[in-house]
Amino acid sequence: MGNFFRLVATLTIIAALASFGLSAVYNSTHEITEEYKRQEEASARLAALACDPDATFEHTVTECHLDGRAFEYDTAMLDGEVVGYSFKAYGKGYSSTIETIVGVDLTGTICGIKITYQQETPGLGAKVMEVASQNTLWDVVGGNAVDEAGVKPWFQVQFEGRTAEELVVVKNPTEDGILAITGATISSDAVTGSIRRGLELLTSIVDGTGEVPCEAAPEDMDPAGDSPDGSAGGEAAGGDAGPTDAVPGVEGEGR
């Protein structure tokens, strides 16, 4: 019996020390991680808008809510002139909420997008960030491979030069629209739908037309933007695809 209590006490001490250690690591790295994320998003805004590195951004938090979150956007300024806008879109994919920085010019046309977070299925939904290499195995072996640094993901490039009305997911390459990733219709819909909704709301706000109704904050959401069960507000409302679109175990299989 004595050995049992000693074992329990030892395990308890080990667990307490491990918990303390993890807490200390989190506290010491949290601010660094947050600062890195802010810098990454600032870089993404510049990339999405193709802005001069000297451009500055003025952040605006609106009273509108979209997909369960407060809608925010940034106004890009260069030499005292407004050159465009950017916002972050949240789309509920198959296994994660996909976060996308969207750059828009003064005509409401997308300059570019950059997905900053996703945890979709590898080989399927994760292809939203895939860069399609033009190099073949023989190019690599023969030393003739072309440097593809800076090449953008093919799925994201499709959004450039499009307006909200043109953001429609298609499955046939001959159709005009955003070509869905094979086997990952849910992820494709999530990104496209979230960007379309955000662009429509942004245009309505900037133009002052009010054509897109401004959603109020959900009644069951706390000030931090989370629902009572602790899940992020945007988790339930993300992309266009509903729960019936998912095939258990395989994302968009056969679609």
Q: Three-state DSSP class for 94?
A: coil
Residues 234 and 90: beta-carbon distance below 8 Å:
yes
Q: 22 vs 182, which has greater pLDDT?
A: 182
In a domain, 252, yes or no: no
Residues 131 and 152: beta-carbon distance below 8 Å:
yes
Give the range among 96-100, 149-153, 218-222 with minimum mean pLDDT: 218-222
Q: How crowded is residue 179: how many other Cβ atoms within 10 Å of its Cβ? A: 17
Residue 106 token pair: 């003064």
The letter for the amino acid at 27 is N
State which of 4-8, 12-16, 38-42, 68-72 shows the largest mean pLDDT.
Answer: 68-72
Gyration radius of the chain over CA positions: 22
Q: Which residues pair with 81 in a beta bridge?
A: 78
Which of the 8 DSSP states describes residue 99? E
In a domain, 255, yes or no: no
Residue 187 token pair: 């992820």
In a domain, 116, yes or no: yes
User: What per-residue confidence (pLDDT) applies to 95?
Assistant: 94
The letter for the amino acid at 25 is V
User: What per-residue confidence (pLDDT) applies to 131?
Assistant: 84
In a domain, 253, yes or no: no
In a domain, 188, yes or no: yes
In a domain, 158, yes or no: yes
CA distance 75 to 147: 34
- pLDDT > 90: percent of the chain: 47
In a domain, 223, yes or no: yes
pLDDT above 80: residue 228: no
In terms of residue numbers, what domain contains 67? 2-245
Q: How many structural domains is the chain composed of?
A: 1
User: What per-residue confidence (pLDDT) applies to 145?
Assistant: 66
pLDDT above 70: residue 78: yes
User: What per-residue confidence (pLDDT) applies to 148?
Assistant: 56
Spatial CA neighbour of 212 closest among 230, 200, 225: 200
pLDDT above 80: residue 43: no
Structure confidence by residue, pLDDT tens digits, 92-146: 999 999 999 999 999 999 999 999 999 999 999 999 998 876 666 666 666 666 6
Q: Which residues pair with 87 in a beta bridge?
A: 73, 102
pLDDT above 50: residue 37: yes
pLDDT above 80: residue 31: no
In a domain, 113, yes or no: yes
